[in-house]
């Protein structure tokens, strides 16, 4: 007889000093809230959605103040804004439909898969936002520069003669670097948050996957 | 949710709470964590209960929810194993003559099971609960063949832990 079967024979007789809960205690437990990772995924996702929506609105208000919209051209400005919010709404829909399908009573491997899929949606959401900010930011730079009176004035000065292209490239390069730094910082924050949250899940998921090879 | 549903749930949970305790014992190393996991399992069971239609036994459904909570939802790491804790697990041995020797062996085995990873523990748990390979495979969402192969590997691993 193998080792495990010896344990199996005696398995049901195990006890330890942890107490059995009374019915009253069990009823009390029902009122508690979950501290599980699915709840945290939802909270983080809500924060992400709110942050980028608010960020968009704040920048819109700021642009109205300092005439950026006229300089950039209304069609591009409003076009990109509408596009942006349509994409965000799509993300919210995809997230919600993934989230709704997480059911604790499904088989372990599909539960893990659903959770990771939900997390992937949020990863793409962040990458979309960063890419959007970078692309629109750079296009806006190109559109704004020729129409900005301050820049026109600067380029008209004798010292700048012949260096217009260099100026454009530097402006683009600078904004690119700023966005790159933001991306790296965001990436690190994300690795940290989801790393803490999902490390165990990822490890167990990999273990399950290894079994299927 | 209605009072009647709550009473019905509490009755079933009370009858089967030993299952949850066994899982908590296997996946945690101290009383505090044990209670914490028990609480999370209860919350998850209660939230999923309205969808439990009784097409399977309450206990079968409970195995799934409780193991999923321990392996997937519960955040605290369960890697650390402190020796004094699992020694608190006792088994009732019928044959008085062999009690000491057998008790020692069982404690050793239980200790070895506690050193397995989360997935292996789940398979072993279901095996010890006398589930067949089809049920184990269904709970974990793997194929029956893989469950069988994995179980054999775990048995070898346990032997190696006990007799290094």
Measure Cα distances from A130 to A62, A184, B101 in Å: 19, 10, 64
Which ipTM was obtained for this model? Answer: 0.85
| Rounded CA separation A121/B113 (Å) | 36
In angstroms, rounded to a whole number, what is the distance separating the alpha carbons of residues B67 and B121? Answer: 10
Using one digit for the tens of pLDDT, what is the confidence trace for B3-29?
888 999 999 999 999 999 999 999 988
Binary contact (A33, B89; C-beta < 8 A):
no
- The answer to whether B25 contacts A18, with C-beta atoms less than 8 Å apart, is yes
Model pLDDT for residues A77-135, shown as the tens digit of each residue = 899 999 999 999 999 999 999 999 999 989 999 999 999 999 999 999 998 998 898 88
Q: Is the CB of B47 less than 8 angstroms away from the CB of A197? A: no
> Does the pLDDT value for residue B95 go beyond 70?
no
Task: Spell out the CATH class of B1-80.
Answer: mainly alpha
φ and ψ at residue B142, rounded to 5 degrees: -120, 175
pTM of the model: 0.84
Give the domain ranges of chain A: 33-211
**CA distance to partner chain A, nearest, from residue B62 (Å):** 8
At residue A35 the predicted structure's pLDDT band, cuts being 50, 70 and 90, is confident
Q: What percent of chain A has pLDDT over 90?
A: 29
The beta-carbon neighbor of A13 closest among B65, B75, B91 is B91
Q: How far apart are CA A170 and CA A146, in angstroms?
A: 14
DSSP at B142: S
Chain B residues in contact with A117 by the CB 8 A cut-off are none
Q: Residue A207 carries which DSSP code?
A: H
B1 — pLDDT class (breaks 50, 70, 90):
low
Domain ranges of chain B: 1-80
CA distance B149 to B144: 9
Q: Pick from B75, B129, B161 the residue to mutate for testing the A interface (most A CBs within 10 Å).
A: B75
- Is the confidence at residue B40, as pLDDT, over 50? yes
Cα–Cα dist A199/A155, whole Å: 53
Q: Looking at the complex, does the CB of residue A24 fall below 8 Å from at least one CB of chain B?
A: no
């Amino acid at each position: 007889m193998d080792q495990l079967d010896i344990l199996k024979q005696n398995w049901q007789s195990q006890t330890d000093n942890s107490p059995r809960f009374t019915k009253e205690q069990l009823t009390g437990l029902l009122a508690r809230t979950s501290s599980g990772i699915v709840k945290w995924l939802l909270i983080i996702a809500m924060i992400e959605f709110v942050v980028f929506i608010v960020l968009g609105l704040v920048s819109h208000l700021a642009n109205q103040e300092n005439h950026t919209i006229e300089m950039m051209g209304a069609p591009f400005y409003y076009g990109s804004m509408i596009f942006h919010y349509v994409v965000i709404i799509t993300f919210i829909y995809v997230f919600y439909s993934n989230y709704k399908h997480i059911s604790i009573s499904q088989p372990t491997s599909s539960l893990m898969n659903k959770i990771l899929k939900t997390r992937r949606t949020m990863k793409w959401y962040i990458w979309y936002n960063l890419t959007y900010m970078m692309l629109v930011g750079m296009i806006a730079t190109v559109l704004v520069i020729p129409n900005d009176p301050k820049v026109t004035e600067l380029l008209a000065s004798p010292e700048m003669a012949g260096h217009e292209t260099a100026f454009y490239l530097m402006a683009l390069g600078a904004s690119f670097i700023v966005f790159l730094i933001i991306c790296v910082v965001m990436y690190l924050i994300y690795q940290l948050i989801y790393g803490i949250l999902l490390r165990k899940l990822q490890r167990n998921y990999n273990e399950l996957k290894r079994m299927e090879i | 949710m209605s009072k009647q549903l709550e009473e019905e749930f509490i009755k079933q949970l009370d009858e089967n709470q030993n299952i949850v305790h066994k899982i908590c014992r296997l996946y945690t190393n101290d009383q505090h964590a044990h209670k914490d996991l028990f609480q999370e399992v209860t919350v998850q069971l209660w939230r999923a209960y309205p969808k439990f239609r009784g097409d399977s036994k309450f206990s079968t459904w409970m195995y799934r929810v409780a193991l999923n909570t321990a392996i997937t939802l519960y955040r605290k790491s369960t890697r650390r194993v402190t020796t004094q804790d699992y020694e608190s697990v006792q088994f009732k041995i019928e044959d008085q003559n062999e009690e000491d020797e057998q008790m020692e062996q069982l404690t050793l085995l239980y200790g070895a099971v506690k050193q397995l990873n989360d997935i292996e523990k789940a398979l072993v748990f279901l095996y010890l609960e006398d589930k067949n390979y089809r049920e184990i495979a269904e709970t974990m969402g793997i194929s029956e063949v893989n469950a069988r192969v994995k179980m054999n590997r775990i048995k070898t691993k346990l032997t190696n832990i006990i007799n290094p």
